[in-house]
Chain A
Amino acid sequence: MIVDAAWPVVVQAYLRAVLVDRTHLLLLSFAPGWRLLDLQGDPAFYGLAPEAPDGLRSLQDLFVGLPLDRDQDIPFVELANGRSAHVHLVADRDAFHVLLLDAEEARSHERVQQQLVHEAIIAGHAKSKAIGQLKDIRDELGRQRSSLEEANALKNALIATLSHEFRTPLTSIFGYLHLIERRATADATAAQALQAVRRSATYLFALAENLLEYGRGESSGALLNAVEVDLGALLADVEGMFAPLAEAKGVRFRATLAHDDATAPRFDEVKLRQIVVNLLSNAVRYTTRGEIVLALAWRDRRLAVDVRDSGIGIAPEFIGQVFKPFNRGAQAGSKGAGLGLSIVRRLVDQMHGTLALESEPGQGTHFSIELPSVAAIAAGPEHASTLRGRRALVVDDDADVAQLLEVLLEDLGFEVRVLGDAASAVARAMDESPDLLLVDVELPGLSGNAAVYQLRAQGYRGPIVSLSANATTDARDASLRAGANHYLTKPLNLERFVAVVRRAVGEGAKEAT
């Protein structure tokens, strides 16, 4: 009896309705060992199925660790069917009873209120954080604005000049080529000649585009995109471009290739091609008799590029001028923009090569260039000795990039291990403590930054270099905040790569760069 028997019957009935029916009271009586003795109410309302073997298991789980011989009260329990109930245990000598009272309405009301408060607090936190970041960004932008404006004005002026210099005549060339090609297809020789003209014009256009890079800043131009170069194909290409042009002037054209090194040559092919094209353009332009010789020789992991002509030559007083940009007039009869040789010098420098020039007026000119293979650049002699035997762990899911990093680091003297995912890298790094850890940021699953953070959070103190294709300040800061010592962007600037690797290994302790 849940009400006093002395009360009027109607009051008793009313209270029963309020306390029992509205709360969907469920009473379960148990003997020790959770043996069900009696049940009153609707267990299905709470998602319970006493007849099933594990139907009351979730109820039992509620009282794990609690004494069953003492009354218990567990408010707002979300049951298996999602309903909320107040659950009570009432001890009764050798038995006990479990009472469930529906709390769904109260829970829903409470949830709405709490949800609003919590979301407001979380949003407030995010807002104040964002405001702080915006302030930092605004300050940084203010600092950079003035210098950027100045640099931008210079760059725009240069690009505008070059655009006009190159694009206008090339547009005309392509237009007339199109017209002529439509009319002369029956004549095989003419078609072949037109093909050569188109090829050359196309290369010139590509070259012009690259020259425009000249105005786009040192940093982007200095990046080497190393690939394995087919020297034979390169030679055939430039021969196809320039032999007809030379022969049309009555000049003999020879191209030779000596391939004495068994290793594959690795260079920035676009830059290498630009060097050869520029030198040959110069030779063809200034030679009216005799011959032009291109000789490529790959030996001792160095590529020798020799271009010799019997042209007008360069007067001694102009030798120092030809490598300066906009040097019109350095060679008699010059009609170009005066950029070709300055670009050659720049590209050779970027590729860590050497350039020599011999010339005599009336006798001809000889350009002699030596370029070290990309891997050889990384392995400067002073580097290899100090880094030999060090252990590096490379984590990159891109097999090509991983292989390149492996080759570069091995050339520096490292023993290299490569892994493709961050999770195993964390375990491996903790186990082996390599002298250097190189981690790609954009890894599948656990990100590179997350892995770096985990390592630091586990006390890992070894040097970590993060690599990413993302060159933004935010991306860099995020990696350094996660715990990387250094941040490098792809494609790799090899000089910087070597410098950072040396510094990271030398430091052995955190210092952001």
Chain B
Amino acid sequence: MTPLTHKVCMLGDFGVGKTSLVARYVRSTFSDKYLTTVGVKVDSKEVALPGRDPLKLVLWDIAGRSALDAPSTSYLRGASALLLVADGTRETSLSSALNLLMQSRSTLPDAVAVLAVNKLDLVERWEVAATTLSELRRSLPVFETSALSGAGVEEAFAEIARRLPG
């Protein structure tokens, strides 16, 4: 049986680790070399959730932006979910992620949204306060992730899958 397929867009400022999170999640790999993404790269992964039919997530790794421009908006069309990504060591990237969420709401009012605050392996250098994330958790699911170690990555994508219609 062909699994139900959903488009998931990765949104966030440049250098926050969107490509690395996809690489960790889909291929279990990590590279510490920063290579900026131009345009979009599409990957996919099937997710099996207990008690549900498998889902297929088509992951759109979109070039980093602090605000949505016309091409980025066009990439969002048809998406069922957004994985907003921020870098814990750059507080401004969290503002960017939240800004992107607000802007994307006009295109995708009903899309599932999950926030991944990445680079947990560098937690000693984080600028984002724990209390900020504690507050944010009241309005959307938040995961501290590390593409390097894999911490929280599976959980963040699983949360998206769990919230998508089966």
- List the interface of chain A (C-beta within 8 A of B): 58, 61-66, 73-78, 84, 103, 107, 110-111, 114-115, 118-119, 121-122, 125, 423, 445-447, 449-450, 453-454, 456-459, 478, 481-483
Are B144 and A454 in contact (CB-based, < 8 A)? Answer: yes
Pick out which of these stretches binds chain A: B24-32, B36-44, B95-103.
B36-44
Known contacts A73-B74, A107-B38, A118-B15; decide if A453 and B134 are in contact (CB<8 Å). no
CB closest residue in chain A, given B123: A450
Chain B 123-150 against A: per-residue CB contact (8 Å), 1 yes, 0 no? Answer: 1101000110110010000101010010
Q: How far is the CB of A108 from chain B (nearest CB, A)?
A: 8
Instruction: Please give, as numbers and ranges, the residues of chain B lying within 8 Å of A122 by CB-CB distance.
Output: 15, 34
Residue numbers in A under 8 Å from B40 (CB-CB): 74, 76-78
Known: A454-B120, A456-B131. 19 other contacts (CB 8 A): A61-B42, A65-B79, A75-B39, A75-B71, A77-B41, A107-B39, A118-B14, A121-B14, A121-B15, A445-B151, A446-B151, A447-B123, A449-B123, A457-B134, A457-B144, A459-B134, A459-B137, A482-B123, A482-B130
* Residues of B in contact with A (beta carbons under 8 Å apart): 5-7, 14-15, 34-42, 44, 58, 63-64, 71, 74-75, 77-80, 90, 117, 120-121, 123-124, 126, 130-131, 133-134, 137, 142, 144, 146, 149, 151
- Chain A residues with CB under 8 Å of B117's CB are 457
* A61→B44 contact, CB < 8 A: yes
Chain B residue at smallest Cβ distance from A67: B78
Alpha-carbon distance between A119 and B121 when the two chains are bound, in angstroms: 20
Out of A61, A75, A449, A453, name the residue touching B58 (CB < 8 Å): A61
Please tell me if the beta carbons of A446 and B39 are within 8 angstroms of each other in the complex: no
In the complex, what distance in Å separates the CA atom of A446 from the CA atom of B142? Answer: 17
A355–B123 Cα distance when bound, in Å, is 48
Across the interface, do B131 and A78 meet the contact criterion of CB distance under 8 Å? no
Give the shortest distance, in Å, between A474 (CB) and chain B (any CB).
Answer: 8
Q: Are B75 and A450 in contact (CB under 8 A)?
A: no
Give Cα A454 to B126, complex, Å: 12
B151 touching A77, Cβ below 8 Å: no
Can you name 12 A-B residue pairings with CB atoms under 8 Å? A63-B78, A66-B78, A84-B38, A103-B39, A115-B36, A118-B34, A445-B151, A446-B151, A450-B123, A457-B137, A458-B134, A481-B126
Of A78, A445, A450, which is within 8 A of B39 by CB? A78
Q: Contact between A453 and B144 (Cβ–Cβ < 8 Å)?
A: yes
Q: Chain A contacts of B78 at CB under 8 A?
A: 63-66
Cα-based distance from A167 to B74 in the complex (angstroms): 80
B151 touches A423 (CB 8 A): yes
Q: Are A64 and B123 in contact (CB under 8 A)?
A: no
Q: Quick check: B130 and A483 within 8 Å, CB to CB?
A: yes
Q: How far, in Å, is A274 (CB) from chain B's closest CB?
A: 39
Residue of B nearest to A109 (CB): B38
Whether B38 pairs with A110 at a CB distance below 8 angstroms is yes
Establish whether residues A453 and B123, one from each chain, have CB atoms under 8 Å apart when the complex forms: yes
B5 touches A64 (CB 8 A): yes
With A107-B39, A450-B151, A483-B130 as given contacts, are A65 and B7 in contact (CB-CB < 8 Å)? Answer: yes
Cβ of B42 and Cβ of A76 under 8 Å apart?
Answer: no
Contact A450 B120 (CB under 8 A): yes
Contact of A453 among B36, B75, B126 (CB under 8 A): B126
When C-beta atoms are compared, the residue in chain A nearest to B37 turns out to be A78
Query: Which residues of chain B are within 8 angstroms of A76 by Cβ–Cβ distance?
Result: 38-40, 63
Cα-based distance from A119 to B146 in the complex (angstroms): 20
Residues of A within 8 A of B15 (CB): 118, 121-122
In the bound assembly, the distance between CA atoms of A405 and B51 in angstroms comes to: 42
Chain B residues near A459 (CB, 8 Å)? 134, 137
Q: Is the CB of B35 within 8 A of A115?
A: yes
Q: Separation in Å of the A94 CB from the closest CB of chain B?
A: 21
Cα-based distance from A361 to B44 in the complex (angstroms): 92
In the assembled complex, the Cα of A450 lies from the Cα of B5 at a distance in Å of 34
How far in angstroms is the closest Cβ of chain B from A296?
A: 47
